[in-house]
Amino acid sequence: MIISANNRSISRRIIALCSSILNYSTKTNDKSKLPSYTSEPTSHLIKKFNNRGEYERAFELFDMLIKQNNVSVISLLTILDTCVRSNHIERGRQIETLINQSIKWKDDIRLQTSLIKMYMKYQMIDQAERIFERIRQLPECDVVVYNAMLKGYLQNHIAERCFQCVDKMRPKILPDNVTYILLLNACTILRDEKHGKAIHDELSSSLNIQHVHLQNALIDFYGKINQINIAEKMFNEMNLRETSTYNTLMKAYLVNNMPLKVLELFEQMKQSDLNTIGPLSFKPDLITFMAICDACEKLGILNSPDSSYEQYSWKRIFSRISTTVK
């Protein structure tokens, strides 16, 4: 049979189409055969799956890396994040075993710190402390490890252990701003005036005291131990304020049953150019308006017939939220 040039062209197109369909069918029906990626791009894909909540696909990609013997520290860190997000503690335990079987990974500070965070998240304090006690002896151990422990203790409502942890750190590692903030949070929770003031004294001798979040933590601490005069003094002496700074002092006023002070502070906030104060621009946020609502409720003026309080009606406050908060 003689095939014309036109028919040969059609035949080639049909064959190519069939081949394409066959390849697609093979790929979709064989789920065990995932595309072959190098470790770094696959780590990025795992991260994307985490952000989308597609955790099973993230685990499948990681299993592929294991089969290809192409696991890296980055991929391990990313899949540990998958375990935390997906509440898949058994996979987390398996990955810990994988890490500890490797000479190059078992003493990696980043990996071990991630394991500490994972176990703290699952309220498995003993496992986190077991890892911590081993790696704190390593020369590579740094302040990030200790901060992970402090944060874990606070998350698990055992703030009193924070001070014991820092006592272990101080002989060889200096605290950083995050350490001090976490310790001040512990003091605030425990209403521990002695430790809190000792931290304040320690900070006063360094430039770290100018850190806005540290000052916020100190304002919160003094507000919670009912020393509002010191909280106000710190606020007034700050070189830089953020929205969170105003919110912290407002909450301190509420704790000390001073609702009128909240409204006065909000008026002060409005009189400033809220977009240009300091290098960090800020505006009132939802926390600000919730504090105002709490203050108004305490004062009984949310729906007051007195026209002098009209701006603090529910309708007026929440109309401002829609135009101010983004």
- pLDDT string in tens for the chain (326-residue length): 444 444 455 445 444 444 443 343 334 344 334 444 444 578 899 999 999 999 999 999 999 999 999 999 999 999 999 999 999 999 999 999 999 999 989 999 999 999 999 999 999 999 999 999 999 999 999 999 999 999 999 999 999 999 999 999 988 899 999 999 999 999 999 999 999 999 999 888 775 567 889 999 999 999 999 999 999 999 998 888 888 999 999 999 999 999 999 999 988 887 765 444 444 445 788 898 899 889 988 888 766 554 555 555 555 555 555 555 54
Alpha-helix residue ranges (DSSP H) falling in 30-142: 39-52, 55-67, 73-86, 89-100, 109-121, 125-135
pTM higher than 0.85, yes or no?
Answer: no
CB atoms within 10 A of CB 4: 8
Report residue 245: phi and psi, to 5°. Answer: -65, -50
If you compute the radius of gyration of the chain from its CA atoms, what whole number of angstroms results? 29
pLDDT at 15: 44
Indicate the domain borders of the chain.
36-106, 251-326
| 3-state SS, residue 233 | helix
pLDDT at 283: 76
DSSP 143-181: HHHHHHHHHHHHHTT-TTHHHHHHHHHTTT----HHHHH
CA-wise closest residue to 218 among 187, 261, 175: 187
**Is the distance from CB of 75 to CB of 39 less than 8 angstroms?**
yes
Q: CA-to-CA distance for 159 and 188, rounded, in angstroms? A: 10
Written as six digits, the tokens of 298 are: 């305490």
